[in-house]
């Protein structure tokens, strides 16, 4: 195993840096031409997508966070009701089945027990339209689903998922576009624009990765902390959840994510100089609201670490640390904003000297309940 690491210290670091390549491989077939084809989800996809009136996404852990971003995309871009749910909850609750829903299961391994059971549960309730987005061909999940899309992240060894997550997001964006197109919600100008944005994405991710040394410096200030708060709004809220999960998983620092608008409803009570607050600050319609949320944190002595888009006019000042991540990438922004959070948790864990690739008590694939 060691020889495969090359110049990297851990598989997680290597896999973080493999993301541009993983995205190229995952997107290649889909964005070769100027038009998207539903056939990337299987030859029956067009027929299936013509029958659906809702989407239900089921997954666990990091995969659930990818699904949660996609729920924002599918409702906003494709105009189809969508809900993402933790597989272990769905499988045991009494739900209202909608036979016209597309049930999407997301999984790196395709062997997660709860996700497999959630799919069987959905099928037992009469759901026939099933799609699996998975990183392992011929896994149990892929075999049990009618439609499939394989992410091409390559083998992921680090327990904390990185490249599987961003390639799932890329696949889910393709799904959103294909469903939007079929529903007459995607103009051909937008189709071309999004295809070009996807082609440019791997190079954008590569550029964000150059922030690593600066993020490593920030991480030094996290190593002695007990708690951290992650803030994001809209489609970046699940990215804040993913950032918090990563920090917990590998550095054992307790971290929580909140949609920034909820600050006043609880987490502000926890803010003091010992709890760093990480904020995702895309240059979007909610920027001004986010800025006032950040001022509230600052007014309580909270130390802010802001990952901002260019042109957000959030300046470095006492207690406010800002790194500029990217130009506003529109709908694809969550993918770019994931990268610095992965690097932050990786370097915080390095500082603490934890077993980054095999964190205590966790398994890469949870094949038992
Ligand atoms: C475990 C792993 C996580 C992963 C989750 C779901 O908890 O440690 O990194 O996100 O399982 O795994 P899956 O293979 O279904 O995506």
For the record, the structure tokens of 127 come out as: 């759901």
Confidence of residue 136 (pLDDT cuts 50, 70, 90): very high
Mean pLDDT estimate for the chain: 96
Gap between the Cα atoms of 248 and 255, Å rounded: 6
Gap between the Cα atoms of 61 and 75, Å rounded: 22
- 151 C-beta closer than 6 A to ligand 1: no
Residue nearest to atom 11 of ligand 1 (CA): 365
Gap between the Cα atoms of 215 and 298, Å rounded: 21
Report how far ligand 1's centroid is from the alpha carbon of 343 (Å). Answer: 19
Burial readout 179-190 (b: 16 or more C-beta within 10 A, e: otherwise) = bbbbbebbeeee
pLDDT in tens, 67-113: 999 999 999 999 999 999 999 999 999 999 999 999 999 999 999 99
Report how far ligand 1's centroid is from the alpha carbon of 97 (Å). Answer: 26
pLDDT in tens, 264-314: 999 899 999 999 999 999 999 999 999 999 999 999 999 999 999 999 999
Q: Is the pLDDT of residue 1 over 80?
A: no
Q: Is the pLDDT of residue 227 over 90?
A: yes
Mean pLDDT of 128-154: 97
- 60 C-beta closer than 6 A to ligand 1: yes
pLDDT in tens, 167-199: 999 999 999 999 999 999 999 999 999 999 999
**Is residue 125 classed as helix, strand or coil in its secondary structure?**
coil
Catalytic residues: 364
Gap between the Cα atoms of 53 and 38, Å rounded: 16
- 112 C-beta closer than 6 A to ligand 1: yes
Residue nearest to atom 7 of ligand 1 (CA): 61
List of residues 6+ apart from 216 with CB closer than 8 A: 343, 347, 350
R_g over Cα of the chain:
20
Q: Is 144 exposed, middle or buried (0-12, 13-18, 19+ CB in 10 A)?
A: middle
| The pLDDT of residue 369 | 83
Gap between the Cα atoms of 40 and 171, Å rounded: 10
Residue nearest to atom 15 of ligand 1 (CA): 107
Residue nearest to atom 8 of ligand 1 (CA): 364
Taking phi first (over 0 means left), then psi (-120 to 50 degrees means alpha), and beta for anything else, what does residue 199 get?
A: alpha
| The pLDDT of residue 221 | 94
ipTM of the complex: 0.97
Mean pLDDT of 117-133: 98
Confidence of residue 2 (pLDDT cuts 50, 70, 90): low
pLDDT in tens, 320-356: 999 999 999 999 999 999 999 999 999 999 999 998 9
Confidence of residue 365 (pLDDT cuts 50, 70, 90): confident
In 3D, which of 59, 112, 111 has the Cα closest to residue 89? 59
- 105 C-beta closer than 6 A to ligand 1: no
Report how far ligand 1's centroid is from the alpha carbon of 366 (Å). Answer: 7
Report how far ligand 1's centroid is from the alpha carbon of 106 (Å). Answer: 10
């Amino acid at each position: 195993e060691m020889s495969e690491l090359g110049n990297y210290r851990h598989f997680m670091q290597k896999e973080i840096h493999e993301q541009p390549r993983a995205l190229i491989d995952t997107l290649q077939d889909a964005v070769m031409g100027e038009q998207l084809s539903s056939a990337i989800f299987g030859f029956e996809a067009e027929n299936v997508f013509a029958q659906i009136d809702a989407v239900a996404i089921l997954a666990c852990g990091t995969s659930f966070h990818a699904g949660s971003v996609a729920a924002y995309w599918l409702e906003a871009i494709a105009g189809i009701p969508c809900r993402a749910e933790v597989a272990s909850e769905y499988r045991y609750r009494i739900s209202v089945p909608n036979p016209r829903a597309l049930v999407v299961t997301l999984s790196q391994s395709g062997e997660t027990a709860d996700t497999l059971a959630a799919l069987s549960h959905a099928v037992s309730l009469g759901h026939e339209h099933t799609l699996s987005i998975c990183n392992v061909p011929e896994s149990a999940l892929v075999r049990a689903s009618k439609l499939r899309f394989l992410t091409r992240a390559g083998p992921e060894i680090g327990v904390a998922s990185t490249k599987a997550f961003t390639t799932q997001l890329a696949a889910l964006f393709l799904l959103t576009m294909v469903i939007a197109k079929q529903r007459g919600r995607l103009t051909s100008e937008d189709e071309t624009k999004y295809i070009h944005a996807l082609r440019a994405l791997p190079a954008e991710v590569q550029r964000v990765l150059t922030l690593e040394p600066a993020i490593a410096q920030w991480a030094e200030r996290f190593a002695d902390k007990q708690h951290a708060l992650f803030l994001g709004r809209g489609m970046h809220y699940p990215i804040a959840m993913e950032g918090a999960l990563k920090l917990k998983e590998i550095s054992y620092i307790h971290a929580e994510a909140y949609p920034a608008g909820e600050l006043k409803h609880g987490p502000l009570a926890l803010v003091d100089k010992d709890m760093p607050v990480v904020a995702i600050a895309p240059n979007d319609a909610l920027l001004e609201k986010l800025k006032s949320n950040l001022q509230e944190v600052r007014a309580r002595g909270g130390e802010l670490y802001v990952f901002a888009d260019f042109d957000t006019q959030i300046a470095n000042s006492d207690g406010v640390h800002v790194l500029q991540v990217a130009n506003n990438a529109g709908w694809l922004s969550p993918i770019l904003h994931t990268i610095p959070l992965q690097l932050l948790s990786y370097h915080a864990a390095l500082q603490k000297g934890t077993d980054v690739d095999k964190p205590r008590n966790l398994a890469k694939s949870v094949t038992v309940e």
